Structure formats: C-alpha cells, structure tokens
A and B are shown apart, each in its own frame.
Chain A
C-alpha cells in the first residue's frame, strides 16, 4: 500500500505538472480537491485518465469519482480493491 501511495504521488505531480511540489509535500490523507492540494475539475479529469490508463480502474459516475479521488490513500485503496476483484 505505502509503495503504491508513493508511486501515485509521483504520478500526480507528473500528470498535473505540479512543478514546485515534491511527493513528501502531498499528505496521503488530505483531500486533493478544493482544500488540501487545491485541485479543480480539470485535474479530476486528468486523474481519471491516469487511473484508467495506468491501473485499469474505470470511474463511471461522479459520485464514485468523489469517493475514489478524495485523497491519495482512497485512490490507492480503490486500485488495490480493483486488482483483487
């Protein structure tokens, strides 16, 4: 889990072009949107593409997206759940 979280942090920085940020600055449990990292709806789309392209995890509804993309940890948990299905 922790390794996956670290990988996700690197991938988030790369895909969202967060040039000034390091993985250590992203808290695993902090909300990614609005508060916390302050991401927006376009970033959400980028993360949805990232999850499907890299991990095969498809997000079908907005409600599901809110839960999966809440934090780096929720992303990792959903990836693991998807792998185990």
Chain B
C-alpha cells in the first residue's frame, strides 16, 4: 500500500507557515541561544473565545493542523495522531510553579488541564468537532516516528481514509535553562546559519510544529510518498547503525539505486555529528548531503521538520542552497533518505520518494 503526503502545515522559526513552501529567504538569527517559532495569525484559524485559553504550542498546533487540512482539501480527518517529546511544557511550568507558590492550594485549573501531552490533538479535535481516532505518542526522540508508524498502520487497516499526523515541541526559558545544565547546548550565542562551524560541544535548541495529511489515494496533488520508516534504539556503535540502515534500504520496496539525497540531522555538535559523516563515507560517499537543524534547531520531534523539507524538495524538485552541506547541482530527485538521531539514543530512518 502506498502512503501519500497530501497536505502539510508547518510552524517553525522560519517563515514557513503562510508561505506553505520553503521560504525564498531564510531567517538568520545572529546571536541565538535558541530558535523560537514565528507564530501564525491565530485569529484567522481559531475562535477568539477558544484561543484565549490555549498556550502557545496548542495555538500553533491547531493552526498548523487546520492549514494542513486546507492544503489537502479535507475538512474532517479519519484520525488525529500527534507525537511530542515534552508536550505542553509552558502550561506544565505554570502549573508546577503555581503549586510551589501557593503551597499546593488555589491552583488555576487551565494550566493544569492543558499541561497534558495530548492537549494539542484534543484541541484540534474540539476545534473541528472530530470524534475519530485520536492518539498522542510521547517517546522522546521517537515521538514523531511512533505517531507516523501508528498513522501508517491506521491507513493499512482503513484504506481510503485521510489522517492527520503531527510532530510538535516547544521551548521555554525555563526548559532551556534546565536542559542547558545537562550540557546539551552550546555555551555561547551562535549564528544559526553557521551552526556547523563551531567546534565546541552542544547544539542549538529549537522548536516547531509540523502536520501532515496522509492518505492511500493520491489526489494528483500529493507532495511525496512515505516509502519506509524505521527506528533504532541505542545502537552500540556507528557500525550497527550502518548495518541497520543497509537492511532498511534493502527491504522490499526500497529503490535499488538508493537515495538521491541524504537529509541528515547534523546539529553542530561535533561529537554527535560524527556518526552522520561516518555513515556518509561508509554507505553513500557519492551522494549529496543536505541538513536542516540550522533552520529549526534541535528538538525531540525535529524529524517532522525534516519530513516536511523532504516533501517540499521532492514536490518542487528544488534544493535550496542554504541546506546544502557543499554546493552541488540538483538533478532529478526520486528518493530522499532522512536520517536523524537524538542524543545518540533515538535513531530515525525515513525514505521519502516521488509519487
């Protein structure tokens, strides 16, 4: 069965939402500690009496989901499936801070109600009055992969249906401070467009929301096809990732010629990035590399941004210069391999192909 990407809706630190396409000019954050999303015009998508109670990530999620349905020209999805690493942390922080401040008394209900990870998929369902299958996956770096896998299984069981699958995570000052202590991020401000030029450890954190309308029937306007997905948890060494990837591409359905382009999750941390270069040298030395985290930052579900980017490249048959690791001329792009890992623990593989 073929799985088509029929619509997209994305909110990111770039001007992606309104354009609905890769922006002509990317935004350069010259002294960035972390990348925050450019927020959509909420009032155009959400009722004012509803939007007032939503936190930033819920608003962004509902807008991206509605935009995605508009793009695919559907009004009611047969399922809403989301993946999020940390969920609605802004409301969680409000709720927990309020608990401490008020000594566990007189807690405001709204942040508590909205602090759960499935708030966004529920808010989308409420906004469009959708009573269909609704599920949220929370599994750190695999959260979006798991949501996508569930979506694919749903489509196998319900051919002909159209579903919404999304990946989303937000960053706040507080979460940035806590994760900084874990040594995940660069100690100084960085220029996002030069992310791979820094020698020190750590990456640039970010956030984003990306939704996809998936279906088994091509409406002749589909962006691309999701050919295969796989994950690998805590591989022992780079060689085991190479082995896993070789098997992934050798599975029935994968093109014999392999991917035309590698979309890698390079994040500017030399230690973390070494595996990408190892993989390239070992398996795909003659293939070009493109990367994306200088545009959206590092977060648990950033692979959803990569999927959107891959879908755009396949549909437009254009590779923006700003994502090329080294300059190259673009030929025909039939297959894109997305490979990303989160802190060396959660490794994701997606093969995206032309319709």
- Which among A16-24, A26-34, A60-68, A77-85 touches the partner chain? A16-24
Q: How far is the CB of B53 from chain A (nearest CB, A)?
A: 7
In whole Å, how far is A30's beta carbon from the nearest beta carbon of chain B? Answer: 16
Q: Which residues of A contact B102 (CB under 8 A)?
A: 53
Point out the residues of chain B lying under 8 angstroms from A1, CB to CB.
Answer: none
How many A residues, CB 8 Å from partner? 13
Is B240's beta carbon under 8 Å from chain A? no
Identify which of A19, A20, A38, A46 contacts B108 (C-beta below 8 A). A46
Find A49's partner among B48, B52, B108, B113 (CB 8 Å cutoff): B108
Q: Write out the residue numbers on chain B whose beta carbons fall within 8 Å of the beta carbon of A15.
A: 108
In angstroms, Cα B296 to Cα A39, docked, is 38
Interface string of B99-138 (1 = CB under 8 A from A): 0001000111110010000000000000000000000000
Contact A49 B49 (CB under 8 A): no
Name B's interface SS.
Answer: loop
Query: Cβ of A38 and Cβ of B109 under 8 Å apart?
Result: no
16 A–B contacts, CB within 8 A, in A order = A15-B108, A16-B52, A19-B48, A19-B52, A20-B48, A42-B109, A42-B113, A45-B109, A46-B109, A46-B110, A49-B106, A49-B107, A49-B108, A49-B109, A52-B106, A53-B106
Binding site for B on A (CB under 8 A): 15-20, 38, 42, 45-46, 49, 52-53
Q: Are A42 and B110 in contact (CB under 8 A)?
A: yes
Q: Which residues in B have their C-beta under 8 angstroms from that of A42?
A: 53, 109-110, 113
State A45–B110 Cα separation when bound (angstroms). Answer: 9
Contact B106 A18 (CB under 8 A): no
Closest Cβ neighbor of A37 among chain B residues? B49
CB distance from A57 to the nearest CB of B (A): 12
Which residues from chain A contact B106 at a C-beta distance below 8 Å? 49, 52-53
Return B25 CB to nearest CB of chain A, in Å: 31
Which 3 residue pairs across A and B have the least CB separation, nearest first? A17-B52, A45-B109, A53-B106
CB within 8 Å for A18 and B113 given contacts A46-B108, A49-B106, A52-B106:
no
**Contact residues in B for A20 (Cβ distance below 8 Å):** 48
Do the beta carbons of B52 and A18 come within 8 Å of each other? Answer: yes
- List the A side residues contacting B52 at CB < 8 Å: 16-19
- For B49, list chain A residues within 8 Å (CB): 38
A14 to B49, CA, bound (A): 14
Residues 30-86 (chain B) with a chain A CB within 8 angstroms: 48-49, 52-53
B residues in contact with A52, CB < 8 Å: 106
Give the shortest distance, in Å, between B307 (CB) and chain A (any CB): 33
Chain B residue nearest to A41 in the complex (CB): B109
Chain A residue with Cβ nearest B43 = A20
CA distance A53 to B109 in the complex (A): 14
In the complex, which residue of chain B has the Cβ closest to the Cβ of A16?
B52
B144 shortest CB reach to chain A, Å: 30
* Chain A residues whose CB sits within 8 angstroms of the CB of B53 once the complex forms: 17, 42
